[in-house]
Structure formats: C-alpha cells, structure tokens
C-alpha cells in the first residue's frame, strides 16, 4: 500500500514527541472507510478492502514511510494546569500533502500505550470511535472546520471502562494536531527555544502570511485568535457544545478537535451542558465564546517573550518597559477577540434568518428569538429549519406552543418584527428562504440517534444503524425522502441527558 508520507513534525527536536509504535490488536475488522475523503487527500494507493489497509488502520502494520510518534503537550483541564499530558492514546503515523497542497496529519486514536499514557490503557472503546466518526464528519458537511474521520475499525479486543466493552480505533486527519497545550508544555519548562521553534513551525504550516510582517509572532497570534473566534461562532450558530474545551483540546490550526462528550442541542438553552464530568458547567453552550478567550490568554502567556522582537536575544533581558509594552499588545488583541467573535456570530446568525444586510438592532432581533426559544424549550435545529421554509410559520409556531411554559404569543410578535426587518431589504420570501436553507440544517447528529447507533454496534455487533445515520448526515441541508425520523427530537424516553468522555 502506497502512502506518500512527509513527516515534518518528526524532524523537529526530539523533546517535541516520543517515537511510539502503535500496539497490534487481535483481530481487526473495518467498519468504515471514507472514500470521498481519501480521494480529496490523494490517497489513491489505498484499497480499503485489502488486508494491508486494515493492518495500517488498526496499527498492526506500519506503512512504508510512516514514522510513528506520540506528541508532547500540556494543558489546562477544567482550569487546572497539567504540565504533562501528551498523546496518551494516539499516534501520529505521519503527514501527507494532499493534491490541494495542504499538509495533513494522519493519526490513529486508540492505538495503544504511549509514554504519555499515565494510568490509561491507550485504547479507545468502540462507542467513542463511532461518535467521533459521525460527529466530525457531520461537522465537515455542516461547513465547520474540523478534523476528519478516514477510517474506523474494531479491534476484536475488549477494553475495561465501567464494564468490558469492545475496542475500536479511529484514523483521524487534521490540518495539524498542535494545540494551545503544546505551547504550554514548553512554556512551563521555560524552554524558549522550543516555543520559538514551534511558533515558526506553525507559522510556516498554517499562517505563512504572518511572515511578512514587522513581528511575525504577533501576527501569528492575531490569526489564531481570528480562527478561534470564527470557529466558535460556527459552533454557536449550530447549537454545538464541544464539552471539553481544555487548552489541550484547542487546535492552533483553528479546527474542532478531540470529540469527547460533545453534543448538538435539542431543546435550546444557553446553559445547556451534556458532559458528565463538567460539574461546574464550565463548558456550557453559552460559555463557549468566553472560554475560547480564556484559552487564548493562556496561549498569549506562552508567546509574550516572542512578541518582544528580534533585538532581544539570550544576551539581554527585556526591560520592564518592553515587557509592559508587549503585555499591552496581547491585551489589545485579546480584547478585540470579543468584537471579532460578535461579528462572526452576527454574520452566521443573520444568514440563519435570511438577512443579507447589516442593520442596527440585528443582534437584538436574534437574541430575542433565542430567548423565546429558550423559554419555550423549542428545538434549536427545527426552529431555524421551519423558519427557512417558505410556508414556515405554522410549523414553527407549533414548536412554541408545546411546552407547559409556552408563550407562542411572544413568538408571533417576534415573527412580525422579523418580517418587518426582512422588508427593509429588497428581498422576497423565495430569496431569503433560499439563503436560510444553505445554513440551517435539516439533520444534525442528534444525541439519541448517535446513542442508538452505538448501542446496536456495541450490544449486537450491528453497524447498520451507524451506516444509515452517517448516510443521512452526508447531506445535512437537504430534505431526504423517507428520512423524516432523523429530523425529529427524541421522545421523552430517548432523551440523552449526559455524554461521556469515553476515555
């Protein structure tokens, strides 16, 4: 099997990673191979039905040109700093350069013990593999920057979680797996040289425009801030909750990474939390923008010495004035994050309401709707979907007259205001409905459906539910005949109240 690897991270100094081979598994079987993605990546030499491919995706064989490593990183987990985390259950097999000239990391998750595993087994249960496959691929189709799923396999082995459950391995593709926590790893060791090396690497790989500026590191930081603001605004516009926005789970390349206890909301609530371990609701839906900023402050702290500029080197300490000046620069960039985020959010939300122009009062109109949705426990995705239909009002209205606390009058008043606002643009119903249908999905990976797919696979070795759900999610904006059930929120007995990390 021919994969053209070119492993730039493995050429960085040795303290950036550990050389780690995946550990073989007993009797792997392929669950799913992402043919479309493989094509985009130029992986024409991979025959998914071959034993060779199965051996690579299960870690039983190391493809030619692969130099497996587990990456070093630290991170703030729920606000507390761990100086040594690293890839405890993942191995970067190598990098490939796709036909679009973008470099991608090719990683196995659940491939066994690494020097970073601490007490863990380095393995992944099948459930989280299926969940990540479904959600990350759905995110890609919904237009959200994300890591992708290339393949999923069962291992033929069991892993011990609360009980013994089947094991799985996911092959993930990312623009890059460097995290805020990677910078923190070197920063906590006072290793300035490594931070510079890492920043240069990330600039070269993801943000080359930063190079032709007065201070490439400041420009780099601004670009990372921008990418995060954009990403989180997307999440918010789709009702997505990452669930574990630790600094080790925030990618420098601006992709959604590390799908753990993530979830799409059914009934809308600003304070919604699904993660079983998020006891303080730190990563609740409505907190995500603010947490994004908190994480970026942590990144800024690691970059401050680089902000001071070229003239400072090992031979001279920065003066107090110089140090203060760069703190001010970082603070300005970080406070601009809120405005940037707000603009991206407005951009997304305006489209969701069919608005092409920017008018004063738009934020209020959007927030009014969200508040009415919250007090009526309306379904996030369905509300916007029904509003997107030319004959929307009756169906949407029905969503607002179900709950005990329902206030459909509030919704009716809001619709009048919305219609007035639409009239301020030279638009008509067909036109704005068409805009709305490009951004308001019919289908999202709903928790109860993911749960059903996992249950069938884990309990009965039946992957048909997984495959059927995946197929629907490939075209999230298109109403598919016979697939109406996938649109619907859960019945009371199907509601998933908690999601788990699956570690």
Check if the beta carbon of residue 121 is closer than 8 Å to that of residue 160.
yes
| Near ligand AMP by CB under 6 A: residue from 168, 260, 445, 489 | 260
Check if the beta carbon of residue 50 is closer than 8 Å to that of residue 77.
no
3-state secondary structure at position 202: helix
**Alpha helices (runs of H) in 353-361, residue ranges in sequence order:** none
Is 255 one of the binding residues for ligand AMP (CB under 6 A)? no
CB 113 to ligand AMP: min, Å? 7
CB 256 to Mg ion: min, Å? 12
Backbone region of residue 94 per phi and psi (left: phi > 0; alpha: psi in -120 to 50; beta: other values): left
Nearer to Mg ion, 249 or 433 (CB): 249
Residue 386, classified by CB atoms within 10 Å of its CB into exposed (0-12), middle (13-18) or buried (19+), is buried
Q: Which does 228 bind (CB under 5 to 8 A by kind): Mg ion, ligand AMP, none?
A: none
Instruction: State the Cα–Cα distance between residues 137 and 453, nearest whole angstrom.
Output: 15
Catalytic annotation, pick one of 87, 105, 226, 248: 248
Q: How many residues sit in the footprint of ligand AMP (CB under 6 A)?
A: 18
Nearer to Mg ion, 88 or 490 (CB): 88
Residue 240 is given by DSSP the state E
Q: Which does 501 bind (CB under 5 to 8 A by kind): ligand AMP, Mg ion, none?
A: ligand AMP
**Residue 448: closest CA among 324, 294, 263, 285:** 263
157 Cβ contact partners less than 8 Å away, ≥ 6 residues apart: 25, 26, 123, 166, 167
| Near ligand AMP by CB under 6 A: residue from 258, 266, 267, 278 | 258
Q: List 243's β-bridge partners, or say none.
A: none
3-state secondary structure at position 165: strand
The angle formed by the CA atoms of residues 118, 123 and 124, to the nearest 5 degrees, is: 125
Q: Which does 120 bind (CB under 5 to 8 A by kind): ligand AMP, Mg ion, none?
A: ligand AMP
CB 90 to Mg ion: min, Å? 8
The 136-175 site mask, x for binding ligand AMP (CB under 6 A), equals ----------------------------------------
Q: Which does 7 bind (CB under 5 to 8 A by kind): Mg ion, ligand AMP, none?
A: none
CB 183 to Mg ion: min, Å? 15
Residue 204 is encoded by which pair of tokens?
């070269």
Listed as own residue / partner, the contacts of 192-200 with beta carbons closer than 8 Å and 24 or more positions apart are: 192/305, 194/13, 194/15, 194/16, 195/302, 195/303, 195/305, 195/306, 196/306, 197/12, 197/13, 198/12, 198/16, 199/303, 199/306
CB 462 to ligand AMP: min, Å? 25
Instruction: State the Cα–Cα distance between residues 334 and 71, nearest whole angstrom.
Output: 28
Q: Which span (47-55, 243-251, 301-309, 323-331) binds ligand AMP, by CB under 6 A? A: 243-251
Interaction with ligand AMP in 82-141: which residues (CB under 6 A)?
Answer: 85-89, 116-117, 120-123
Is 34 one of the binding residues for Mg ion (CB under 5 A)? no
3-state secondary structure at position 129: helix
CB 478 to ligand AMP: min, Å? 33
CB 317 to ligand AMP: min, Å? 34
Q: Which does 86 bind (CB under 5 to 8 A by kind): Mg ion, ligand AMP, none?
A: ligand AMP
Nearer to ligand AMP, 65 or 88 (CB): 88
Nearer to ligand AMP, 123 or 350 (CB): 123
Is 244 one of the binding residues for ligand AMP (CB under 6 A)? yes
DSSP states along 14-41: GGGEEE-PPPP-SS-EEEEE-HHHHHHT
Is 228 one of the binding residues for Mg ion (CB under 5 A)? no
Is 28 one of the binding residues for ligand AMP (CB under 6 A)? no
CB 123 to ligand AMP: min, Å? 6
CA distances from 426 to 279, 342, 352, 392, 422 (A): 48, 25, 17, 20, 8
End-to-end, the C-alpha distance of the chain in Å comes to 31
Residue 314 is encoded by which pair of tokens?
């090992």
Active site residue 313: no
| Near Mg ion by CB under 5 A: residue from 66, 146, 184, 249 | 249
Residue 494 is given by DSSP the state G
CB 427 to ligand AMP: min, Å? 44
Q: Within 10 Å of residue 98's Cβ, how many Cβ atoms?
A: 15
497 Cβ contact partners less than 8 Å away, ≥ 6 residues apart: 274
Is 501 one of the binding residues for ligand AMP (CB under 6 A)? yes
Q: Which span (118-126, 149-157, 251-259, 420-428) binds Mg ion, by CB under 5 A? A: 251-259
Half-sphere exposure of 142 (CA within 13 A, CB side): 29
Residue 484 is encoded by which pair of tokens?
């109406």
| Near Mg ion by CB under 5 A: residue from 137, 258, 267, 278 | 258
Q: Within 10 Å of residue 196's Cβ, how many Cβ atoms?
A: 15
Nearer to ligand AMP, 78 or 390 (CB): 78
Q: Which span (112-120, 245-253, 279-287, 484-492) binds Mg ion, by CB under 5 A? A: 245-253
Q: How many residues sit in the footprint of Mg ion (CB under 5 A)?
A: 2
Binding site for Mg ion (CB under 5 A): 249, 258
Catalytic residues: 248
Binding site for ligand AMP (CB under 6 A): 85-89, 116-117, 120-123, 244, 246, 249, 258, 260, 501, 503
């Amino acid at each position: 099997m021919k994969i053209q690897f070119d492993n730039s991270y493995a050429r960085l100094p040795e303290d950036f990673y550990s050389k780690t081979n995946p550990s073989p598994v007993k009797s792997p079987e392929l669950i799913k191979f992402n043919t479309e993605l493989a094509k985009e990546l130029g992986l024409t030499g991979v025959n998914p039905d071959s034993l060779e491919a199965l051996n690579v995706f299960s870690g039983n064989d190391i493809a030619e040109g692969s130099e497996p490593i587990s990456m070093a990183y630290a991170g703030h987990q729920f606000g507390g700093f761990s100086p040594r985390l690293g890839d405890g259950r993942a191995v970067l097999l190598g990098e490939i350069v796709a036909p679009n000239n973008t470099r991608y990391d090719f990683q196995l998750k659940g491939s066994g013990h690494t020097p970073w595993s601490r007490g863990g087994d380095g393995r992944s249960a099948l459930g989280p593999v299926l969940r990540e496959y479904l959600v990350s691929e759905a995110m890609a189709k919904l237009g959200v920057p994300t890591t992708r799923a290339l393949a999923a396999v069962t291992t033929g082995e069991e892993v011990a979680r609360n009980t013994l459950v089947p094991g799985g391995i996911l092959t993930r593709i990312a623009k890059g797996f460097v995290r805020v926590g990677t910078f923190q790893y070197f920063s906590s060791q006072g290793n300035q040289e490594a931070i510079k090396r890492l920043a240069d690497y990330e600039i070269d790989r993801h943000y080359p425009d930063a190079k032709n500026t007065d201070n490439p590191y400041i420009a780099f930081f601004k670009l990372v801030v921008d990418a995060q603001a954009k990403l989180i605004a997307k999440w918010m516009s789709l009702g997505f909750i990452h669930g574990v926005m630790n600094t080790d789970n925030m990618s420098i390349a601006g992709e959604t990474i590390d799908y753990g206890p993530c979830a799409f909301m059914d009934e809308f609530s600003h304070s919604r939390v699904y993660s079983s371990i998020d006891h303080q609701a730190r990563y609740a839906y409505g907190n995500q923008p603010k947490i994004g900023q908190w994480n970026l402050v942590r990144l800024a702290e690691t970059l401050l010495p680089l902000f001071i500029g070229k003239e400072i080197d090992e031979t001279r300490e920065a003066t107090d004035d110089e140090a203060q000046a760069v703190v001010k620069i970082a603070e300005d960039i970080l406070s601009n994050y809120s405005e940037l985020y707000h603009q991206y959010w407005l951009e997304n939300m305006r489209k969701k309401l069919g608005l092409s122009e920017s008018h004063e009062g738009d934020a209020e109109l959007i927030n009014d709707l969200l508040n009415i949705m919250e007090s009526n426990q309306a379904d996030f995705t369905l509300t916007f979907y029904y509003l997107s239909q030319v004959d929307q009002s009756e169906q949407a209205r029905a969503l607002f007259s179900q709950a005990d606390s329902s206030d459909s009058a509030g919704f009716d008043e809001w619709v009048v205001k919305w219609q007035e606002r639409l009239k301020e643009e030279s638009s008509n119903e067909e036109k704005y409905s068409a805009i709305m249908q490009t951004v308001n999905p019919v289908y999202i990976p709903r928790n109860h459906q993911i749960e059903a797919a996992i249950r069938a696979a884990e309990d009965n070795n039946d992957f048909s539910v997984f495959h059927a759900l995946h197929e629907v999610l490939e075209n999230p904006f298109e109403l598919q005949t016979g697939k109406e059930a996938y649109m619907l929120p859960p019945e009371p007995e199907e509601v998933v109240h908690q999601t788990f990390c699956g570690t």
